């Protein structure tokens, strides 16, 4: 199966850049996920700080799920 995406440049430059940088965007999300994990797991946090990190982590995963983004290949 093949898929071809066509853009009318320069009108569709934003969409073109988004399509071309999608793997970079995915890498950024994966890196952010790992940073949250490191902070949550390895940092010596106070209770209130831990709660904040947990909320950020939960919201991050909620946003990914709402947008049907799976960071696992």
pLDDT of residue 71: 85
How many domains in the chain? 1
Q: Is residue 69 part of a domain?
A: yes
The structure's pTM equals 0.75
Q: Is residue 45 part of a domain?
A: yes
Q: Is residue 28 part of a domain?
A: no
What are 25-73's pLDDT values in tens digits? 999 999 999 999 999 999 999 999 999 999 999 999 999 999 999 887 6
What are 6-28's pLDDT values in tens digits? 999 999 999 999 999 999 999 99
> Residue 63 belongs to what domain range?
33-73
Q: Is residue 66 part of a domain?
A: yes
Q: Is residue 24 part of a domain?
A: no
Q: In terms of Cα–Cα distance, which of 17, 14, 18, 19 is closest to 4?
A: 19
Whether cis (ω within 30° of 0) applies to the bond prior to 59 is no
Q: Is residue 42 part of a domain?
A: yes
Neighbours of 71 (CB within 10 A): 13
pLDDT of residue 73: 65
């Amino acid at each position: 199966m093949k898929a071809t995406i066509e853009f009318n440049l320069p009108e569709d430059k934003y969409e073109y850049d988004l399509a071309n940088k999608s793997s970079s965007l995915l890498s950024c999300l994966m890196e952010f996920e790992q940073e949250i994990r490191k902070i949550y797991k390895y940092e010596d946090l106070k209770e209130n700080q831990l709660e904040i990190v947990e909320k950020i982590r939960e919201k991050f995963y909620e946003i990914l799920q709402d947008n049907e983004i799976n960071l696992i290949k």
